[in-house]
Copies of this chain bind each other. A is one copy, B any other.
């Protein structure tokens, strides 16, 4: 299948965004949710900022202290030689004895970027969504946006020491917004709410990460009001080997085609190489899988996809659709944003029907 990467990729990089916090650097501008509003394409950028450290032996981490009215940003300083901590993962600082995550190395929040042509974006100077509550103390990550009539529902990872849950915020104008708390409890992320009711119910894809039994796979839930979710069903599992054997999760907001609901999702292998795949769900019953791609539709190949803060990642939170053209906005290497186009018809032709395991999605 032909994938047209945009010639000016990556379209936004950390160099294009000035840090919001003093004495911090922007290390990632990625995994943006996509909305079409008021004639513009909006990217809800996940911006990750890391505190600068003048001393290589001092490791700093920033968290939000929501109960402190004056200075919400709290700077942690750790001694790199302290044997209580493991600093080897670029994303997290771990407590050695308890085998727990102590801090993240960066703090994420959401900033808007706006474009008339969907290709050239201008980034807002101020955050749009900033951590405000205890369950977001470690950041707001990977937003996705579902438009239902004139309201935009933003689903995002709410990260804190209590876990990674799924926060829900609604807005009508991308200026003011309303918080609805966690729509799903930890550990869960990669939620994608369908853009309309199906047989009287709302649906959402989600990706729990169970500890004792089970794998990081795609589930589907239903709701009467978008705030409360239930009747959870397992939708799509890992393969035993290959590109989708490590973890899979929702990507873009699903969109309607003649053949079914089309979802472009992400899958990683056991080496943490992230690709994009597609799955087609029944129009009347989206908990039924009709078909899926055997091979990735987009894999990390370009230099900006292969090399970055976390190598070998393509990861989408949103697409736009115009006639036969699917524009995939995707984060690359946990660092920047890129853009690629594929043909809807070619993608539907690529979906295969014979590889769905029996009982899957039922």
Contact = CB atoms under 8 A, between A and B. Distances in A.
Interface of A: 67, 100-101, 134-135, 138, 159-165, 168, 180-188, 206, 208-215, 217, 219, 221-225, 227-234, 358-359, 362
A138 B212 CA distance: 14
Nearest to A219: B185
12 contacts: A100-B215, A101-B212, A101-B213, A138-B213, A162-B213, A163-B210, A164-B213, A168-B230, A181-B233, A183-B231, A187-B187, A210-B211
A161 B234 CA distance: 11
Given A164-B212, A212-B101, A206 B185 contact: yes
B227 A227 contact: no
Best-surrounded residue of A134, A210, A224, A359 (most CB of chain B within 10 A):
A210
Contacts of A222: 228
B213 A210 contact: no
Contacts of A168: 230
B229 A229 contact: yes
A181 B228 CA distance: 14
Given A163-B208, A181-B233, A228-B231, 9 more contacts: A160-B213, A162-B213, A180-B231, A181-B230, A184-B185, A184-B230, A185-B208, A225-B228, A228-B229
B233 A230 contact: no
Nearest to A231: B181
In the complex, the 5 A-B pairs of residues with the closest C-beta atoms, listed nearest first: A163-B214, A187-B210, A228-B228, A228-B230, A181-B231
Nearest to A221: B185
